[in-house]
Amino acid sequence: MIKIIDKFKLIVFTLEQMFEDIKNKPSVEIKQESIEENFLKIYDSMQKYVQTPEQRKKANQILKKYNQMQINKDDAE
């Protein structure tokens, strides 16, 4: 069985990879809505694994990064 902290790290890694994919491959034909939906689902699932202040801080940083990406996307449109 995977430890809860390991699951948290895995989810953080997954979300950070999603950011990189979105940032580095804007021309790839992928549905932006599905990425955003998946991001939010993964982020929500991560919340139940947050146990320490450091993890809470990391989760908040990820959400801020996502929100900034949304603002930048809206500005570009």
Residue 68 has pLDDT above 70, yes or no: yes
Q: Is 30 helix (H, G, I), strand (E, B) or coil?
A: coil
Reported as type and span, the H/E element at residue 38 is helix 32-47
Condensed to tens digits (0 to 9), the pLDDT of residues 2-17 reads 566 678 888 888 888 8
Condensed to tens digits (0 to 9), the pLDDT of residues 21-64 reads 777 666 555 566 677 778 888 888 888 888 889 988 988 888 88
